[in-house]
Amino acid sequence: MTPAESKTRKVGGRVSWKGTVGDQGTVIATDWSGVHIQWDAGKTSFHHHNNMTDIEPV
């Protein structure tokens, strides 16, 4: 997604890595710089708004 799309993500929203059904997660926090994602596989990651090109909304 683009930086503008990333900035519209809401807590609780679902996302996927490159559109992969088996690699999805939930947005757990957002701020001015990026998005925190809790992946279904158990890991948590932070992605800057400008670095969300591989992540897509579900």
Q: Give the chain's domains with CATH numbers.
A: 3-57 (2.30.30.40)
* Residue 29: per-residue pLDDT: 98
- The CA radius of gyration of the chain, in Å to the nearest whole number, is 10
pLDDT, tens digit, 9 for 90 and up, residues 4-53? 999 999 999 999 999 999 999 999 999 999 999 999 999 999 999 999 99
Four-CA torsion 42, 44, 47, 49, nearest 10 degrees: 90
Tally DSSP H helices, then E strands, for the chain.
1, 5
* Residue 47: per-residue pLDDT: 97
Q: What's the token pair of residue 36?
A: 């925190």
* Residue 41: per-residue pLDDT: 95
* Residue 56: per-residue pLDDT: 96
